[in-house]
Structure 1
Amino acid sequence: MRSSPGFTLSLRRLLILLSGIGLLPLALLGLWSVHTSSQYQQREQDRAMLDVARALSSAVDAELDGSIATLASLARAPAIGAGDVAAFYDIARDQVKAQPEWLAIILTDAAGNILFRTTDPFGAPKGRITDPESLRQLLAVQRPLVGRVARGQRGRVAFPVRVPIRDEAGRLYALTAVIKPDRILAVVKRQQAPAGSIISVIDAFGAIVARSKDQDTRVTTAPGPRLAQLMREKGPEGAGDTVNLEGQRMSSAFTRVSRHGWTVAVSVPKAAIGAASLKGITLYGWGLAASLLACIGIASLLASRIARSFANLERGAAALGAGKPVGVPGSRIREVALMGQALDAAARQHAAHEDERSRLLASLEEALAASRDASRVKDEFLAVLGHELRNPLSPIVASLDLMDLRADGASVRERTIMRRQVNHLKRLVDDLLDVSRITSGKMQLELRPLNLAEVVRHAVTSRPGQPVALTAPGALWVEGDESRLVQVLNNLLSNAERFGDGATEVTLRAADAWAQLEVRDRGIGMAPELLARVFEPFYQAPQQVARVTGGLGLGLAIVRKIVELHGGRVSAHSDGPGTGSRFLVELPLAQAQAPLPLAATVQPSTARRVLLVDDNVDAAATTARILEQFGHEVDVAHSGAAALAACARMEPDVAVLDIGLPDMDGYTLAAAIRATGLAPRLVALTGYGQQSDIQRARDAGFDAHLTKPASLDALERAISGTVEAAS
């Protein structure tokens, strides 16, 4: 069966998909190129911003160095060298007037006490130092330094530049110039920075000294957290993404290579950096979309042409399947043209094959008809064979039964031999008919809860011949057909008797969910090649010409089929020739059932008037004598007409009818007896014993059906009314 293809695509969509897949590497390469270009531009932008920051840092250092140099020059005044602080005050005040961005000059002693501030008169109260930390640092290291930008006592923002001084007596002083941030802001504004950029100058203590945007509100405050984090992570200088104090995403570069520990940061809005990249991506996207549309158009045109060619091939294939002439138009697609030619060739071959097939079908129909006729003839032959073989067996068995009833002690040995051989012949006939049922699928079972242990014990103890060693539990229940399971055991025991040495062991046990019946002998055993085929019908081990063991090779094949119909399994085991054989039958266990009532022992019933109808004179005579031994009044007829006359004469209680009569069959005779108004019990005693024969007897109104040769118990039960039509 052809499997489902699952998800499918039209040719047009497939070609469009292939076009898209073909453009995908180009698109990825383009995006990678744009991305690489964007990264390059970002690096170039970062480098440019870093160059600006470095230049600004140098300019700021120059401004600070200039202030330090001015202070250092002032510190060399003779007045301070002579320790004349008042005279030095006048000199310092004149210096402040000469520096517009200087707010004041402050002189302190080595203890940090203010000696004068130029914004106050000499000798006025001195006040406090705004940035004492940088003053203590100066007095400790005695080198020029720049302090923290801060808002002073009068509310003005400034930062200190300090230099150490020693007079001729060796006394240490600190000379400080208080400078407004405007001086640094002027340096920032002189720098030609990118449009929209923000430049920040930050002192060594992390406070903003100058900022190109919002100077008045941002001075002395800390930079944005992202910029502060970037400066902590990158070391002396670096670049990265930040967010400014206004909340705008920026790309920033900074340097902290200033001699005074100050930092210069340059930030540019991200949009300004990405504009060129976005434009490039946009242009590339439009170009890619145009290419994709062109590919879709071309793919659609190609798909239409290919689809038309495929449609022509499809119509040609449909015509080929319908047995019509195939005509596929030419195509410029080479593969399609070759396929069209192949369809034409296939059409010619198909026509030739159809002709040949028609001839073969005609021959096959004739062969099937012949086979059906042969099968029907075979079934009829087997039915007639069973009837014809059982008919002579019936008087023989009846004669043996009469001899047994007479208890003639002188002929016990001969009767035993005859009984054994008759049973053997009856088994051969039953096996042959059972194989016919198996091959035609007509073997049926009547399953019911069954105590297999009881069945096995009864079969073993009632079997004539050599004794069998039996090991079985008290009860072991299965779902089975009792008669068929007895047949299985009898066939296995018969096989053990024929090929064993007289010591046969039967073991019944439960294993897991299975009932296991094992039959073991100590006989000739089996070779591996025989084990592989032992259950095949008609297969037998090589034997001597005398065929001492006998048999048709059907018993084990029947055993396997019956066991399989019970849902079980059977296997054969042997360690080789001379080691004996073991057959293991396994049947599924069933729930235990309440014990069935014991069948009453068959005893001769109340004397009845019995009409016995059989065209076999010997069978009729012997059976009549047996019935008379049971105390019945018996009248014998050998044809249907004679039987009807006897019915009118004696009005029988029971009529035992053979089916195969010379003038009418037993079914017709049964109907004729019923038509007379008499109501005797009707028993069919016939050589036809298949299931269909039993059912036909039931349909014809028979009360019981017996297969020749019938046992004494079965015959007496049928007459007494304890055996039904299906028996």
Structure 2
Amino acid sequence: MRAQRGPSLSLRHLLVVLTATGLLPLAALGAWSVHLAAEYHQGEQERALLDLARALSSAVDAELDGTVATLASIARTPALGAGNVRAFYPVARDQARAQPEWLGVILADGDGNMVFRTTAPFDAPPQPVADPSSLRQALLLRRPVIGHVARGKGGRAAVPVRFPVSDAAGHPYVLTAVVQPDRIMRALARQQVPPGSVISVLDGDGAIVARSHGQGDHVGGPPSPSLARLIRLNGPESAGATVTLEGNAVTTAYTRLSRYGWTVAVGAPPAGWAGGPGFAWYGAGIALSLALSIGLATLLARRIVRRIATLAAGAAALGAGTDPVVPTSRIEEIDAMGAALRAAGARRAAHERDREDALELARQAGRAKDEFLAVLGHELRNPLAPIAGALDLMDLRDDAASRRERGIMRRQVAHLKHLVDDLLDVSRIASGKLRIDVAPVDLAAVVRHAVAARPDQPLRLQAPAALWIAGDEHRLAQVLGNLLSNAARFGSTDTHVVLERLGGEARLVVADNGVGMDTALAQRVFEPFYQAPQPLVHHSGLGLGLAIVQRIVELHGGRVSAHSDGPGLGSRFEIVLPLGAPPPATAPAPIRAASRPLRVLVVDDNEDAAALTAAILRELGHEVKTAHTANAALDVQAAWPPDVAILDIGLPDMDGYALAAAMRRAAVKPLRLTALTGYGRQAGVAAHAPPDDAAFDLHLTKPASLDDLRRALDANDADASSDPAPA
């Protein structure tokens, strides 16, 4: 680094020298003041003209908005909504006649072809659409578009105003009003403009739509070359000197900030320039002063610019994440700025290190949380599986003496499984992994089934025969189940479920007469893990059900809200979902005969779970063998080839996916494989990502129901995981 030589100067001293140079000589200052006054007047005129151009642009937009609003009103005609264009034709014709500036109304279909025009009978042969580019733009953007001015066969100038519409079946149309420029001319006439001004309104292509002078001669033509050049070179709005079509020099201001892409230009005679007899001497003094000022300022500014360039390079390096290299300067303030940049670079490096450390800790915590929830789900589901299996076996044997006790145990097992599923669902919500499988769903049928599944709960249902939406049937049933469970938990003895169609939406309301809630509680009930005060709660929970409801509804494009008139006055939960189309009609599926007796191999390291699963399958009439390790399962397959194998994923000597691949390779006849695991499909797939030959035919999550086990044996059943939300 080169050492400093000479004293350091402050930036203030340099600016004082530069200012003093600019003030010499005094005579030049007087001339400069005259010049500034002239420029000020010119600038004031340009600003006034620009303000006027903006006001005129707003007035033109208001006129166009009025035409668009009229088209929007016509588009709401029931005949057009029903797709009956013949019935819509007289409505459009009468509206066109009611508008004095309208030449007619045209309706075009989604392919850009004319359906009818009100200037001819409905059945008249269609004509080519004028200005097809604006028609295509309206179809593509689905918003109002103003076309380009043109003269028709009769010589009348008009502008197409296009408004896209759709009928109830979703067929797109474009409704066009053919409007004469007279309406724009009247808007211009209402404005107060300076004497001798020329106002021009140009369309999106730059053609004249309206002009305060010579309207009939110039409409549809181009503006003067100087105005066209001013607009082309100076952006959305500006001002400058132009020459009119009549050859007059004017100062023109224009704006292109119209919502419809139009341009409004206002020209007026230029303001006079002040001067005097001694202007030549003033001019000479100005020239000399400028020469001296420029020479000295150049020398001083060069030093400043070089130092500032080094600071800019240092700032760019700091922004790019590298250490800034800033050399020293003889200017004290620039030296201080360089030191500040170096200090900022050091702090940035320290912050980056801290941020990376924090991000790594957050990633580790996230992984630990996911692993904990997966292991927790596995460890909770594993003991639930033999309990549920034992209950299923007792149900098959129909021991009447233990029926009440079995009912109690089954409700508690279902409650524990619901808590585990809620934990996994809220984890997926937090990580953004909760997904839905969208298909046509009869929401009325979902609601009826959910209500019928709760015979012990006092419920009243009001629903239409069918109400179709696009959604995930399993998730929607989960939403209603959570709301009904919530009503039961909070003491409802009369729960009213109402499903209705409201416009283009489905509205589902679950109202109860339970303990109710205050306003503060209603605002927080959808927060994860938030629970009402415990004295109000009849049964414990994790506070996750309503948070899951909210996320599932949002994934369906809907909204959910909670209401209550106060404690003791019950609660009301309202869900609104967009309507969808029913599925296409299909032939009913043939009825399949009952399954034949099969050879079934059950592989699970939990001996109780394996034994109970085997006992249930034997009660169903199948021949069953069990194994508790992967190697033992392969030995059983070699000696006794099964038709179906139900495999646990977490085996001690080999994971279930590797075992599935080995069994497929060793199979001597068709083999159906089912995964039955405490981790669920999410953990298994994410951890192992098996190849195609190791894929299971079905994934089940512990504890599996009797219906799940029947599906595991049915080769015609497609893969449908019982895990409530696979990732």
Classify the TM-score, shorter chain: 0.5 to 0.7
Q: 2:595 aligns with which of 605, 613, 616?
A: 605
* 1:498-513 to 2 correspondences below 5 Å: 498-513=489-504
Aligned mates of 1:599, 1:692 — CA distance in 2: 34
Partners of 2:325 and 2:342 within 8 A in 1: no
Q: Give a deviation string over 1:242-270, Cα, whole Å, max 9, x none.
A: xxxxxxxxxxxxxxxxxxxxxxxxxxxxx
CA distance in 1: counterparts of 2:595 and 2:513, whole angstroms: 46
Change (3 A) 1:598 1:299: farther
Q: 2:697 aligns with which of 699, 703, 707?
A: 703
Q: CA deviation at 1:419?
A: 1.2
Distance of 1:518 and 1:303 partners within structure 2: 77
Counterpart CA distance in 1 for 2:495 and 2:665 is 56
Shift of the alpha carbon at 1:375?
1.5
The residue type paired with residue 711 of structure 2 is R
State the one-letter code of the partner of 1:506.
V
Q: Is the 8 A contact 2:386 2:609 kept in 1?
A: yes
What residue in structure 1 maps to residue 675 of structure 2?
684
Equivalent residue in structure 1 for 2:352, among 356, 361, 383:
361
Q: For the residues of structure 2 that align with 1:282 and 1:319, how far apart are their CA atoms?
A: 50
Aligned to 1:590: 580
Q: CA deviation at 1:490?
A: 0.8
Between the aligned partners of 2:393 and 2:553, the Cα distance in structure 1 is: 37
Match of 2:488 in 1: 497
On the 8 A contact 1:469/1:504 being kept in 2, the answer is yes
Quick one: which of 286, 291, 311 aligns to 1:297? 291
The one-character-per-residue Cα deviations of 1:392-414 (angstroms, maximum 9, x if unpaired) are 11111111112222222222221
The separation in 1 between residues aligned to 2:705 and 2:558, in whole angstroms, is 31
State the SS of the aligned residue for 2:566: coil
Could you tell me whether the CA contact under 8 Å between 2:491 and 2:538 is conserved in 1? no
Question: 1:302 Cα shift?
Answer: 5.4
Query: Where do 1:549-698 residues align within 5 Å?
Result: 549-594=539-584, 605-678=595-668, 679-691=670-682, 693=684, 696=689
| 1:26 Cα deviation after fit | 6.4
Contact 1:611 1:655 in 2 (8 A): yes
CA change 1:486–1:20 in 2 (3 A) is farther
Deviations 1:354-401 (A, max 9, x none): 334433433332332222222112211211111111111111111111
Which of 7, 13, 22 is the equivalent residue of 2:33?
A: 22
2:144 maps to none
Q: Give the direction of change, closer, same or farther, for the CA distance of 1:402–1:357 in structure 2 (3 Å limit).
A: same
Give the direction of change, closer, same or farther, for the CA distance of 1:725–1:594 in structure 2 (3 Å limit).
closer
1:172-321 matches, within 5 Å, as 283-301=277-295, 303-305=297-299, 307-321=301-315
Which residue is 2:525 aligned to? 534
Deviation at 1:726, TM superposition (A): 4.4
Aligned pair 1:717/2:711, yes or no?
Answer: yes
- C-alpha spacing 1:357/1:281, structure 2 compared with 1 (3 Å): closer
**Residue pairs, 1:31-110, within 5 angstroms:** none
| Equivalent position of 2:131 in the other structure | none
- Higher RCO structure, 1 or 2 (CA under 8 Å, sep 6+): 2
- CA distance in 1 between counterparts of 2:29 and 2:576 reads 63
> For residue 479 of structure 1, what is the aligned residue in structure 2?
470
Deviation string, structure 1 residues 511-550 (Cα, Å, up to 9, x no partner): 1221111111111111111112111111111214x96420
How far is the alpha carbon of 1:666 from its aligned partner?
1.0
- Contact 1:698 1:726 survives alignment (8 Å): no
Contact 2:504 2:579 in 1 (8 A): yes
Give CA-to-partner distance per residue, 1:639-662, whole Å, 9 cap, x none: 111111111111111111111112
* Structure 2 residue identity aligned to 1:388: E
Q: Which structure's CA Rg is the greater one?
A: 1
Amino acid at match of 2:476: L
Aligned equivalents of 1:720, 1:698: Cα separation in 2: 23
Q: 1:578 to 1:318 in 2, by over 3 A?
A: same
Q: Distance in 2 between matches of 1:418 and 1:661?
A: 28
2:363 matched residue in structure 1: 372
Alignment partner, residue 259 of structure 2: none
1:19·1:295 contact (CA, 8 Å) conserved in 2? no
Corresponding residue of 2:479: 488
Deviation at 1:462, TM superposition (A): 1.8
Aligned partners of 2:590, 2:407: CA distance in 1, in Å?
27
Aligned residue for 1:610, secondary structure, equals strand
Q: Secondary structure at the match of 1:706?
A: strand
Alpha-carbon distance in 1 for matches of 2:655, 2:303:
74
Q: Secondary structure at the match of 1:583?
A: strand
Distance, in Å, in 2 between the alignment partners of 1:669 and 1:27 is: 92
The equivalent residue for 1:468 is 459
2: CA distance between counterparts of 1:684 and 1:607?
20
Q: Could you tell me which residue of structure 2 aligns to residue 428 of structure 1?
A: 419
Provide the rounded CA distance (Å) in 1 between the counterparts of 2:510 and 2:517.
Answer: 15
Compared CA separation, residues 624 and 601, structure 1 to 2 (3 A): farther
Letter in 1 for 2:611: A
Distance 1:655 1:556 in 2: 38
Counterpart secondary structure, 1:473: coil
Q: Counterpart amino acid of 1:324? A: V
SS of equivalent residue, structure 1 residue 586 = strand
Task: State the superposition RMSD in angstroms.
Answer: 3.1
User: What is the total number of aligned residue pairs between the two structures?
Assistant: 455
Task: Please give the TM-score of this superposition, normalised by the length of structure 2.
Answer: 0.58
**1: CA distance between counterparts of 2:586 and 2:459?**
26
Query: Aligned residue for 1:392?
Result: 383
Structure 2 residue aligned with 1:514: 505
Amino acid at match of 2:407: T
Contact persistence 2:441–2:469 (CA under 8 A): yes
Q: 1:317: how far off? A: 1.4
Note the C-alpha offset of 1:566: 1.1
Cα distance in 1 between the residues matched to 2:662 and 2:31? 92
Amino acid at match of 1:397: A
Cα offset for 1:698? 7.8
Distance 2:604 2:29 in 1: 90
Q: SS state of the match for residue 651, structure 2?
A: coil
Kept in 2: contact 1:566–1:587 (CA 8 A): yes
Compute the displacement of 1:325 (Å). 3.2
1:694·1:725 contact (CA, 8 Å) conserved in 2? no
CA deviations on 1:225-254 (whole Å, 9 max, x unpaired) are xxxxxxxxxxxxxxxxxxxxxxxxxxxxxx
CA distance in 2, matches of 1:687, 1:26: 86
Q: Work out the CA distance in 2 between the residues paired with 1:357 and 1:637.
A: 60
Q: In structure 2, what is the equivalent of residue 407 of structure 1?
A: 398
